[in-house]
Structure 1
Amino acid sequence: MKSILLAAGLASFATLSNAQDCASTLSANYTAPILADGYRATLIANQLETPRSLKFDSAGHLLMLQRSYGIVSFTLTGTAPCLTVSSTKDILANTSVNHGLELSRDGRTLYASDPNGVYAWNYDAERQELTSDARRVVTTGSTADGHDTRTLLMSRQVDNMLLVHWGSQGNIDPQALNRSTGISSIKAFNVSDPSVSYDYASEGILMGWGLRNSVGFGENPVTGGIFSVENNVDELKREGRDIHKNNPAEELNFHGYLNGTEYANQGANFGYPSCFPAWDASSVPGYDGLKTGQQFAIGDQNDTVNDNICREGTVPPQLSFAAHMAPLDIKFNTEATVAWVTFHGSWNRDDPQGYKLSAIPFDNSTGLPLAAPDSNAGYVDIMSNQDLSECPDGCFRPVSLAWNSEGMLFMTSDSTGELYLISTSDNTPLNDAPPPTLTNGGESPPTSPSEPSSTPGAASVGYVPDSWFVGLVFLVISYIL
C-alpha cells in the first residue's frame, strides 16, 4: 500500500474563519473544494491506493477496500474534526477484490467481491483479522470489458439478506434483454448458512432487472425500502440524432422491500437496454410532452419496443440526476430525512459534470424523496469542485460513504487517494443535522412509489454557494500554496 500520512488534516473550505486549531500536515494537491454553507470537509488521510468502499466494524475500526491492493483497517483517534489515523493494518492482500465490501449484522463475517462473485471470511474485529479462508457465497461470472463491480449491501432490517448487483457487459448489452441471464439486475441472497453457495443467474430474490450499472445501494432505515443509484448509457442517439450530452438521466430507483412489505414493482423491469429516462426532455426528438424522468425508447420502434411500452411497461426512476454524473453510493441518515449520494463524475462529456457529494431530502413518512419524480432539482450540492474544467485529473472524485457509531460521515475519493470527514461547520455529527432545504421546497411527493407526476417539478437546487469574498480568498490561497 502507498504510504499514508498519519496526521489529522483540516480542510474547512466552506468558512475559513471557522477553522479549528488542528495539527495539520495534510492538504489536497488540487484547488480546494467548495462547501455549501454550514458544512465542512476534513482531509483525514491521503496517498491511498484507489480507495473504494468503506465499512466500520464493531470495534470502531474503519475498513477500506482499496482496488488493486486489498482491504485495510484504519484506527482513528482524536475528536472530530481533528481526527488522526493512528495505525493501519492489512486485513486482506488480494488484488482481485475491486469494490464490494460488507459486514454481517453481528460484525463477525466480512464480505467482498471481485468480477466473478462474492466471498466471505470469518472476521475478528478486536484483532482486525480474518480467521478463516475465503468461501464463495455467490457466483456471477465475469463481464469482460464490462462493468466489473459487484456492489454489496447487507440489510439492517432483515437478518442475513445480502443484496448484489451484476452490471452489463459494455455500454448496450443485449444479454440484459433476457432476465434469466442475471445480467443488469439486483438480487438478494440469504447468507445465513455458510455452506450454501448461490448461482446468481438462477437463484436469489429478484429486486429488479434492466439496470445497467447500479453501483450504489441504500436501505431506508425507517421503512426498509431498497434504493439504488444507476449509471446510465453513453453515446445515446435517437432518430439518428446525438442526444448524449444531456441524456439519459442518471437514476435513483426504488426496488421494494425485504421486510415483507408489499410493492407491486418489486422485481420489475427498469428498462435497460431499450428504454431510458429523459433528463433534458427538450432535446429528445419525436416525443412531444416528454418530461424529466419519463422513459423513452431508442432504436427502431416496433411492436415490442416503443415509447408507449417504455412508458407503461418499465419502472421509471423515483428521482433523476443530470446525465453522466455517475452516482456511486447512497447512504441514509437514521431518521431517513436525507440520502447522501456521491457523484464520481463524467468521462465523455465536453463539459464535465458531477464530481461532487450531494444530499437528497426525503420525506420519512412516505420513504420517498421530497421532490417529485419529474423534478430536475431534487438534490442539494454539499461538496463540489470549484472548476470542473480541471476534472477528472485535477479534482476529487467521490466514491463511497460510511457512517461511524457517532453519526459522522466519511467519504473516499479514489482518483486522489483520499479519505474525508464531512461534518457541519459547528461539528454536529452529520447524522443529527437537519436536512438541507430545496430552495423552493420541491414538488409534493407521491404517497407511494409511482409513475412520474403529471406536473413538472419546479424546485431549484438548494445549494447555497460561498460568498464572492470567500471565493476570492480560495483563489489567493490556492495561488500562494
Structure 2
Amino acid sequence: MALAGCGRSDPDLRQTGAKPDLPSIRQTLVPPMKIAKPVSWRDQVPTAPAGFTVTAMATDLRIPRQMLVLPNGDILISEGRGGGAPPLRPKDVIAGVIKKQGNTNVEGGDRITLLRDADNDGRPEVRTIFVDGLDAPYGMAFVDGYLYVANQDALVRFAYQPGQTRLTAPAEEVTKLPSALNHHWTKALTVSADGQTLYVGIGSNSNVGERGMAVEEERAVVWAIDRTTGARRTVARGIRNPTALSIEPQTGALWAVVNERDEIGPQLVPDYLTSVREGAFYGWPYSYWGKNVDPRVKPQKPDLVQRAIAPDYALGSHVAALGLSFVTGGGFGSGYGEGAFIGQHGSWNRQDPAGYKVVWVPFSDGKPNGRPADFLTGFLTADGRARGRPVGVVFDPAKRILLVADDLSNTVWRVAPRAQSLL
C-alpha cells in the first residue's frame, strides 16, 4: 500500500530508510524523462497535516533557494540561478529542455531578501533587498556578527549590525570555491556547533565522471573552512551532490542531503540523508550505496570501492532533496519533536514523479528512526502538473514555524500550528 497522500508506489517505499531494497541496474541509452509542467497555485496552498495552517509569507521572489533566520528573527532568502556547464551528449540536451520546462521563467535575483515579521502573524512588516550583486548565492550562515554567503564561486562574508535591513559593508572573500563548469553549482553551507568551522558542500561536475576526472578535482566533497583564516580541508569525498548541510542538535554531528546519480533506472540510485563522517568516502562515481559498483565508470578503482561506506538513510530515487532542517526546542511536539524536515524538489527522469513535497524524518538519540512521512504536499496536481517545487526548509524554534522556499512559484510558505494561524 502506498504511503497516504504521496502517490508513491511500493518500490519507492522499499527504497527508504537505513536498508533500502536496491533493484538491478536498468541502464538505458536515453533515460525515461518526465518533469511536471508548471501550473499556478491560484487560490490554493500546500497541504499540511491536521492542526497546521499554511500561508504564503512572500511571493514574487526571484528563484528562492535557501533561508536563514537571524538572531533577531529576521528571515533571509537567497535567490539566484547558477551553473552553465555545456551538455556532453544529445540526451543531455533533451534532459536540459525537459528540466527547463518545469522551472520558473523568472530571472535569478543574485541577491538576498530580508523579511521581518516581528509579531509572528505571517504578514511581514518589512521586506527589503538585504544585499544584491551576488553570484548565484545559495547557502548562508550567521556567526559572531558576520553573515556568510556561499556564492557559486566563493565563500564571502559581510559585517552585520543587529536590526539592519540592508547591508552596507562590502563583501570580504573568505575563500574561493570550485566553479569551473559548475555542472552542480549550488554550494551548501552551515556552521559547526561550536561556531568555529564552516562546512561547504560542493557537487560533482558530471553524472558519473563523463567529463573526465580532471574536472572533478575537489568536487563531490564537503569542505571544512576556518571562518577566520579561510584555511580549508576536505572532510569527505565521493558524496556526489551535497545540496544542504545541517548540524544535528543532540550530537552536534554534521549531516547532509545528497542527490545521487542518474540513468541506471527509475529506482536507482536513492538520494539520501547521511551524517558526514571525517575521512569518509561515499562511493561516487565508482560505486553507489556503499560498494555497489557502477559499471559505466571506466577505469574502475577497486581500492576506493572497498573503502566506500553506505549512507545512513535513503530518501527514494530521484526525489532531488535540496532542503534540510533539524527541529530544536521540542519542534512542533506531537510526533514532530526530534527529527528533520527535508525539501524534495522533484524528479525529472522517471515516468512516475517522485518528490515534489516536504517530508519529515523522525530521529531518536541523534539517528533516523522510522520511515519518512509526508508533511507538506499538494505541489503536484491530480493530473500530474506542478504548482511548486520545494527547495530550502528552515524551522524557527522561537516562533514555532516551518518555512519552505518554492522556486517554481517563487514563494516562501509558512507552516504553523493552527493556534498560531492568521487572525
- TM-score in terms of structure 1 length: 0.66
CA distance in 2, matches of 1:176, 1:253: 27
CA distance in 1, matches of 2:129, 2:408: 21
Query: What does residue 343 of structure 1 align with?
Result: 344
User: Using a 3 Å threshold, how does the CA distance of structure 1 residues 139 and 355 change in structure 2: closer, same or farther?
Assistant: same
Query: What does residue 261 of structure 1 align with?
Result: none
CA distance in 2, matches of 1:394, 1:179: 34
- 2:327 pairs, out of 328, 333, 336, with 333
Contact 1:52 1:99 in 2 (8 A): yes
- 2:178 pairs, out of 115, 135, 141, with 141
Contact 1:331 1:402 in 2 (8 A): yes
Task: Return 5+ residue gaps in structure 2 as ranges.
Answer: 6-39, 81-107, 331-336
Query: What does residue 359 of structure 2 align with?
Result: 358
Q: Render the CA deviation track for 1:225-251: whole Å, top value 9, x for unaligned.
A: 111011011112xxxxxxx21101111
Query: What does residue 163 of structure 2 align with?
Result: 126
Query: What does residue 4 of structure 1 align with?
Result: none
User: Using a 3 Å threshold, how does the CA distance of structure 1 residues 89 and 309 change in structure 2: closer, same or farther?
Assistant: closer
User: Using a 3 Å threshold, how does the CA distance of structure 1 residues 226 and 43 change in structure 2: closer, same or farther?
Assistant: same
Contact 1:214 1:229 in 2 (8 A): yes
User: Using a 3 Å threshold, how does the CA distance of structure 1 residues 303 and 174 change in structure 2: closer, same or farther?
Assistant: closer
Contact 1:151 1:215 in 2 (8 A): yes
Contact 2:204 2:216 in 1 (8 A): no
1:227 matched to 2:255? The reply is yes
User: Using a 3 Å threshold, how does the CA distance of structure 1 residues 150 and 300 change in structure 2: closer, same or farther?
Assistant: closer
Query: What does residue 369 of structure 1 align with?
Result: 368
CA distance in 1, matches of 2:216, 2:312: 25
Contact 1:57 1:125 in 2 (8 A): no
CA distance in 1, matches of 2:393, 2:379: 21
Contact 2:248 2:254 in 1 (8 A): yes
Deviation for aligned residue 1:302: 9.6
Alignment of 1:301-312 (within 5 A): 305=301, 310=305, 312=306
- 2:391 pairs, out of 390, 393, 399, with 399
Deviation for aligned residue 1:369: 0.5
Query: What does residue 445 of structure 1 align with?
Result: none
- 2:130 pairs, out of 73, 86, 91, with 91
CA distance in 1, matches of 2:182, 2:382: 28
Contact 1:77 1:83 in 2 (8 A): no
Q: Render the CA deviation track for 1:190-213: whole Å, top value 9, x for unaligned.
A: 11x3xx344xxxxx2332110111
Number of residue-to-residue matches in the alignment: 347
Deviation for aligned residue 1:389: 6.6
- 1:75 pairs, out of 111, 116, 132, with 116
SS class of match (1:151)? strand
1:324 matched to 2:318? The reply is yes
Contact 1:62 1:74 in 2 (8 A): yes
- 2:416 pairs, out of 386, 398, 423, with 423
CA distance in 1, matches of 2:382, 2:301: 38
- 1:171 pairs, out of 190, 201, 207, with 207
Alignment-mate amino acid for residue 266 of structure 2: K
Deviation for aligned residue 1:38: 3.7
SS class of match (2:279)? coil
1:37 matched to 2:76? The reply is no
CA distance in 1, matches of 2:214, 2:253: 26
Contact 2:357 2:389 in 1 (8 A): yes
1:273 matched to 2:285? The reply is yes
1:314 matched to 2:308? The reply is yes
Contact 1:176 1:273 in 2 (8 A): no
Deviation for aligned residue 1:180: 9.3
Alignment-mate amino acid for residue 249 of structure 2: P
Query: What does residue 160 of structure 1 align with?
Result: 196
Contact 2:357 2:376 in 1 (8 A): yes
Contact 1:179 1:209 in 2 (8 A): no
Query: What does residue 238 of structure 2 align with?
Result: 210
Deviation for aligned residue 1:145: 5.0
Contact 1:337 1:363 in 2 (8 A): yes
SS class of match (2:284)? coil
Q: Which has the higher contact order (CA 8 A, sep 6+)?
A: 2
- TM-score in terms of structure 2 length: 0.75
Contact 1:101 1:110 in 2 (8 A): yes
Deviation for aligned residue 1:215: 0.4
Query: What does residue 20 of structure 2 align with?
Result: none
Deviation for aligned residue 1:402: 2.1
